[in-house]
Structure formats: C-alpha cells, structure tokens
Structure 1
Amino acid sequence: MSDALKALNNLRTLRVQARDIEVAVLNEMLEKFAVVVAERREEAAADNAAQREKEEKLALYKEMLRNDGIDINELAQLNQAETKPKARRAPRPAKYKFIDENGQEKFWTGQGRTPSPIKSAIDAGGSLDDFLI
C-alpha cells in the first residue's frame, strides 16, 4: 500500500491534512472517492457473479457426467493422453572463446547477453571475429 493510501486509511492523518484544504475541495474529493468506491463494488459484484456462474456450470457438468456414467478422473486422463511432451531443442554449439575475469577459458554461443570480457574488448575497438573458435 502506498503512503498516500496509508494516509487515507488513517483518520488522524486525514484530519491533520484536511485542515489546510477548503471544505468545497474536500466535498469534491469525497464525491470522486465515492465514485471510485462504487466502481470497485460493481467490479467485485461482477467478479462474484461470474465465479458463481462458473461454479454452477461446473456442478451441472459434473452431474451430467455422473448421469452418463463417466468418472471425472477418466476425463482428466483423456486430456493428459492428448498432450504431447514439448520437444527440446538441441543446445547450440559454441562459436566464441574468451578468458573471463578469473582467468578461466569460457565459451559463448553468440546468443543472449554478450559476456563482459567480449563486450569490453569490442568497446575498446576490437572485433567479435577475434574471439571466433
């Protein structure tokens, strides 16, 4: 919660800050705040109604399955059988070789973030071709 919202939630802080504000401005702020609260209540009511509707549909479908003699677990297993495992791509071969800050030889495929030793060498006027394997 931001500091401004914490101040709105604290009656003592509100009283102190409201002393310097005219009553007309406070009334305007109150009207705007009431609009925001009404909008949030409508959103919450719509979310609750959608959730209730979803639960009712699920109960209806569950009853339909039960009447047809189908177990929910069988239905779930059917869905699992249809999904195929995602094929993994083979790792890319390294294209570049460099020495890191610890003096160890490292390799880079050329994809992703440029390693800092290669980046600093390129910034100093070098070429990426200097690191080719």
Structure 2
Amino acid sequence: MNELVRGLTNLRSLRAAVRELTLEQAENALEKLQTAIEEKRANEAELIKAETERKERLAKYKELMEKEGITPEELHEIFGTKNCINSSKTCSTPCKICVY
C-alpha cells in the first residue's frame, strides 16, 4: 500500500506509468481516480454534516437544560456513576465489565 501511495503522489512515477499506457487507458484510469476522489469528498462532506447536526442537537439540549434549570452536576449524579458488576468495594484491579 505504501508503494501505491508513493506512486500516486510522485509526479515522476506517474509520468513513467502513463508512458507505458495508451492514451485511452490513461484517460480511463483518470476517470476512475476522479470517481474515487469524488466519492471520498462526498463521504467526508457527509461526516462533517453528521458532526454538525450532532453539535446542533447538543447545543439544543444544553439550551433546554439551562431553560429548565438542570445543572451538569445533577446529570452527573444520574449518569456519571459506574455500576460495577464486581461487588467488592475495594478492587485491586479495575473492573473489566462495567455498566455505564
């Protein structure tokens, strides 16, 4: 994979590879590469859009909590503690299975 990346990012390697191809083969390879790049751009845009929507939802919930007078400490009391399956109070090693 490293050699492929090096070949695609090195202009001299690309020129050498294109010299061995016919013009039709080179144009076909170019179309396929452009298609792959467009798909990657679309995927990246989708990820950015999803993250933006997630941040907007978090901001909305934060605003609702502030409006209702709910503090982060109250949420921490409800959701922030771990309920360990190991019943002993003093664990010498951290629990491998914890319920959040």
Query: TM (normalized to structure 2)?
Result: 0.79
Backbone CA RMSD of aligned residues: 1.5
Residues 84-118 of structure 1: per-residue CA shift (max 9 Å, x gap): 11227xxxxxxxxxxxxxxxxxxxxxxxxxxxxxx
Give 2:66's aligned amino acid: R
Larger radius of gyration: 1
The residue aligned with 1:113 is none
The residue aligned with 2:85 is 86
The 5 A counterparts of 1:60-79 are: 60-79=60-79
Gaps of 5+ in 2: 88-100
Secondary structure, counterpart of 1:41 in structure 2: helix
The residue aligned with 1:111 is none
Gaps of 5+ in 1: 89-133
Give the count of matched residue pairs.
Answer: 87
The residue aligned with 1:49 is 49
Query: TM (normalized to structure 1)?
Result: 0.61
Structure 1 residue 20 displacement after superposition: 1.0
Tell me how far apart the structure 2 counterparts of residues 72 and 63 of structure 1 sit (CA, whole Å).
12
Structure 1 residue runs of 4+, over 6 Å off? none
The residue aligned with 2:97 is none
User: What percentage of residue pairs aligned between the two structures are identical?
Assistant: 30
Structure 1 residue 53 displacement after superposition: 0.3
The 5 A counterparts of 1:1-133 are: 2-81=2-81, 83-87=82-86
